[in-house]
Amino acid sequence: MSDFRKPAVAGLFYSSNSQKLKDELSLLISVTSPEEKISNIAGIISPHAGYVYSGKTAAYGFNHLVGKDIQNVIIISPSHREYFPGTCIYSGDGYVTPLGKVMINKDMAGKIIDGSKSIFKGLSGHRDEHAIEVQVPFLQIILTDFEIIPIVMGDQSKIYVDELANQVAKVLDEKTIIIASSDLSHYHSKAKANELDSIVEKAVENYEFDKLQNYLDSNVCEACGGGPIVAMMKAASIKNKGKSKILNRSDSGDVSGDFNEVVGYLSAVIYGE
């Protein structure tokens, strides 16, 4: 029997109606279409809140995947609901959204795990985690024939980040990209959020992933998926793709009008020459 991870936040973070979801995604993609698309992409940083809040920011990144021959998407996510040491790749056959099923590339997942002491197959972190799930519908309307490798980091300590970066770099090729799923600061005033989030933005823009890791470890800035961001940037750097472009930064207050407690969002693309 096949084992598919069913949606946990359909109807909450995005529409559970397939046609409404397609229409929403198509609109987000159309209003964020870039004048010039970046090629030789290694990955994108993408937020993971409800589409009404972060969907537009996310769409700026996904737009750069339109028309690309991408066969594998490695999605790296934080674990919001459970802690576990190490990093877990979903052990099932695929993920389901209102737009259908997406299969997991088990061969590539096995290569990422092979030789690692901290990366393993299982269900840890995947059951109710939204940070991977909300990325998948975007991929389903943009790409045609692709598989995913869904990865949840139960612990974002440097030892696990470095291990994941090195293992992912082994499988990163021209038809594979990484999505680092992350929001930025949480529940500060808009002014404070801007102060904190600009630190993350600058570190990404300057491709200073080691500095970003240090900032996160010492609470200089906030990003719930900071580990995934650093792992993605480091893996891309190992493959000589060490350039970045910030596409958009926003916060929940831009939509809600509440500037007292906002959540920050960032979209960026990582690429090579």
What pTM does this model have? Answer: 0.97
67-118 confidence digits (pLDDT tens)? 999 999 999 999 999 999 999 999 999 999 999 999 999 999 999 999 999 9
Average pLDDT over residues 161-181: 98
Domain encompassing residue 135:
4-271
Domain count, the chain: 1
pLDDT digits (tens, 9 = 90+) for 187-230: 999 999 999 999 999 999 999 999 999 999 999 999 999 999 99
Please say if the pLDDT value at position 174 is more than 80: yes
Mean pLDDT of the chain: 97
Q: Mean pLDDT over residues 129-135, rounded?
A: 98
- Separation CA 25–CA 6 (nearest Å): 20
Per-residue confidence band for 2, with pLDDT thresholds at 50, 70 and 90: confident
Q: What is the reported pLDDT for 273? A: 86
Residue 233 predicted with pLDDT over 70 = yes
**Burial (0-12, 13-18, 19+ Cβ within 10 Å), 102:** buried
Please tell me the predicted confidence (pLDDT) of residue 1. 61
CATH no. for residue 95? 3.40.830.10
Instruction: Work out the percent of the chain whose per-residue pLDDT is above 70.
Output: 100
Average pLDDT over residues 265-272: 98
